[in-house]
Structure 1
Amino acid sequence: MDNYDGLVNFFSNDSNDTGYPKVIDENVVLCKKSDVVQFGAAFLPAFYYANFLVSLVGNGLVLCIIYKYEKLSTVTNIFLLNLVISDLIFASSLPFWAVYHKSEWIFGRGLCKLVGSCYSIGFNSSILFLTLMSFDRYLAVVHAITAAQLRRPAYAFMSSIIIWVFSILASIKDIVLHDVMDGGEGLLCEMTGYHQKFLTKWELFGYYQQFFLFFLVPLAIVLYCYTRITIRIMFTRMREKCRAVKLIFVIVFTFFICWTPYNIVILLKAIKTSFGDQNDCSNTLDYALYVTRNFAYLYCCISPVFYTFLGKKFQNHFLTLLSKRIPCLKIDVARLSTTSKTTSIRSPNTDY
């Protein structure tokens, strides 16, 4: 987390009375970030708590529907379950960061590393599973015949394991470097314990890794896959192909609008750190990071719900679940069930 980004420029391994590393005064420029910190304390906790609750309710509902009405024998459901797990892991870190922004880190060293790890692993794996699901839809629609043998549960499980291993490896720097330190006015949970030049290099690595590996590559894959899917659908006799194209547009547009601003700010911060004036204490990028990051966080928290309820089958399951509580919905459930069966017969290789 970049909660106190720029507040301190050098961290020492020496300890003070608290037993934590302390900030020491060297011949470096210290930028005043009190306004940014106050902005974060005022607005971010509410966003984090809201994202956490939305994720808990939405992903819990998806898990309930999978458990009651679906089976883990399909590739799509295996990927969806992994996406839900990754988003819940990420969302579990948000209440801790909310308290941190409001005051200071009060949870100790162990939870500092654990929460930092959950945040990073969940955030990274979420975008990778979304990309994998887009690629899987591309295989199912564009290469339906040749991919029929490939798209088996074993393929889904192996792909998921690779995603988890890759996400953990990409998060090692956060797991290792995150620690609690005394910031003078409270305890911080940040990358610390090493010389500032070393930490700056890892910070830059994290910026470029986020922009290229977890944004540019996934965006290119998503755009390519859904462009090919759209072309394939337009040349079929699907009765509801206009609806399918609209859904694809919504998926791509939402992905782009939620992730692009945050990653552009990440790239600008990397450029500023690499080539900018080190005496420049402008807070513009810090404010921009706080705002744009929340859109990316929100997308991570709701993406399983978003992907799930775009499909008629899951809408039907949801109404079936509600009909047990609200009897008047039973008619709609029957109607949707008939429509879903008809659509599945006419377009067996799509999820739309």
Structure 2
Amino acid sequence: MDIVNTDYDVSWPTDVPDEGPCNIYPNSAEVLTQAYIHSVICAFGLIGNILVIVTYIFYKRTKTMTDVYLFNVAVADLIFVVALPLIIYNEQNSWLMGSVACKMLRSAYSINLYSGMLLLACISGDRYVAIVLARRSFGSRSKTLTYSHLISSTVWVFAGVLTLPTLIYTELLKEEDLRGSESFTVTCQLSFNKDDTAKLVKLMVPSFQMAIGFLLPFLVMVFCYSCIVCTLLRAQNSQRHKAIRVVLAVVVVFIMCHLPYNVTLLIHVISLFKERSCLSEKIIFQVLAISRSVAYLHCCLNPILYAFIGVKFRSHFLQILSDLWCFSKKYIYSARSSRGTSDICNSGLMKTSEGSNNISSFSA
């Protein structure tokens, strides 16, 4: 499995004279480790983000701008965690699913990166308005919801535009298998007919990822949450310390997940202008693979940080478990008490829906 050679890892041929072809493929131990890590990420990412989506659809009607953004973040993360196992399977089997799957699956990461990060920046902006500028009036609830849907749609369109280079230039390629298992292997990566185009796109893709997918959201989050912390420190509220801990956790986790990969990617892009030895190339790709796996973890942590950490949202999650247990009892004991269990399930769902009007997400 070649987890290293992906559409967002940029590289030119690194053959150094008299050294022969450079084998940057991971060894079997690295492949197995990455497979386990990505399996865990897929499992927790699927569970967490599906629960967020189900909660918003059936239990918690979206009433605030943050709710709309959180729902879209969960959708973006879900797209990626669904695509990740398919990418792994194809890489293990020389991309059996063909060129269309190659383009679509490789584009899934870019879509998740841009849309997810920009939506997190939108959440921080909305929290800034709600807490720091709380005394000002910003229109009716219906108007703010209209704005949030419009902003979310704009983010998705913008993410799609930024993903176009990956979608256009990603192709299936036959390469010599330096691991010796086969005469050649089929890989899915960026492919170009002209050197000038290759240099432009291979610099443009990671540069946009670092600037728009990390630096811009990072700066917005630091500014907004710094102002929020200052406002909470001045507030006479017994819950302010807990709220500050939540804010700090959001920023720290974001930095820990994405900063290592983006720093490594920046070093790699700079090194493209220099002659690189095979050993240094192997090291940089290993660090990229490890730091990228850490960045993947953020899609699992988003539901915890932005949704389940809130007391009221957590109550909806417990209601989901209660209703699942109730519906299972309905089918298991249908012959004995199907009517009673059905009434319990329906009333539980109705209570949750009715009580969701005054709930605000991202509460401490």
Q: TM-score, normalised by structure 2?
A: 0.79
Q: Distance in 2 between matches of 1:350 and 1:251?
A: 11
Q: Distance in 1 between matches of 2:189 and 2:18?
A: 19
Post-superposition offset of 1:42: 2.7
Report if aligned partners of 1:36, 1:286 keep a CA contact under 8 Å in 2. no
Post-superposition offset of 1:118: 1.8
Q: Distance in 1 between matches of 2:18 and 2:132?
A: 57
Report if aligned partners of 1:49, 1:95 keep a CA contact under 8 Å in 2. yes
- 1:164 equivalenced with 2:143 (yes/no): no
Partner of 1:179: 171
- 1:122 equivalenced with 2:122 (yes/no): no
The structure-2 alpha-carbon separation of the partners of 1:117 and 1:150, relative to structure 1 and needing over 3 Å to count, comes to farther
- 1:107 is matched with which residue: 77, 91, 97? 97
Q: CA RMSD in A?
A: 3.0
State the SS of the aligned residue for 1:9: coil
Q: Structure 1: which 5+ runs fail to align?
A: 11-24, 328-340
The structure-2 alpha-carbon separation of the partners of 1:304 and 1:273, relative to structure 1 and needing over 3 Å to count, comes to same
Partner of 1:3: 5
Partner of 1:74: 64
- Paired AA for residue 239 in structure 1: S
- Paired AA for residue 275 in structure 2: D
The structure-2 alpha-carbon separation of the partners of 1:45 and 1:117, relative to structure 1 and needing over 3 Å to count, comes to same
Q: Distance in 1 between matches of 2:253 and 2:82?
A: 23
- 1:41 is matched with which residue: 26, 31, 34? 31
- 1:143 equivalenced with 2:142 (yes/no): no
What are the superposed Cα offsets for residues 29-80 of structure 1, whole Å, 9 maximum, x if unpaired?
8642245364653322222222222111111111222123211232121111
Report if aligned partners of 1:7, 1:33 keep a CA contact under 8 Å in 2. no
The structure-2 alpha-carbon separation of the partners of 1:180 and 1:40, relative to structure 1 and needing over 3 Å to count, comes to farther
State the SS of the aligned residue for 2:13: coil
Partner of 1:277: 275
The structure-2 alpha-carbon separation of the partners of 1:134 and 1:28, relative to structure 1 and needing over 3 Å to count, comes to farther
Tell me how many residue pairs correspond in the alignment. Answer: 321
Q: Distance in 2 between matches of 1:173 and 1:155?
A: 29
What are the superposed Cα offsets for residues 161-207 of structure 1, whole Å, 9 maximum, x if unpaired?
11111111111110000111111321111111423453233112112
Partner of 1:20: none
Report if aligned partners of 1:90, 1:120 keep a CA contact under 8 Å in 2. no
Instruction: Give matches, 1:239-254, under 5 Å.
Output: 239-254=238-253
Report if aligned partners of 1:48, 1:97 keep a CA contact under 8 Å in 2. no
State the SS of the aligned residue for 2:363: coil
Report if aligned partners of 1:9, 1:29 keep a CA contact under 8 Å in 2. no
- Paired AA for residue 109 in structure 1: S
Post-superposition offset of 1:209: 1.4
The structure-2 alpha-carbon separation of the partners of 1:156 and 1:288, relative to structure 1 and needing over 3 Å to count, comes to same
- 1:51 equivalenced with 2:53 (yes/no): no
Q: Distance in 2 between matches of 1:7 and 1:104?
A: 20
Report if aligned partners of 2:128, 2:227 keep a CA contact under 8 Å in 1. yes
Q: Structure 2: which 5+ runs fail to align?
A: 177-183, 327-354
- 1:91 equivalenced with 2:81 (yes/no): yes
The structure-2 alpha-carbon separation of the partners of 1:195 and 1:43, relative to structure 1 and needing over 3 Å to count, comes to farther
- Paired AA for residue 277 in structure 1: E
Partner of 2:55: 65
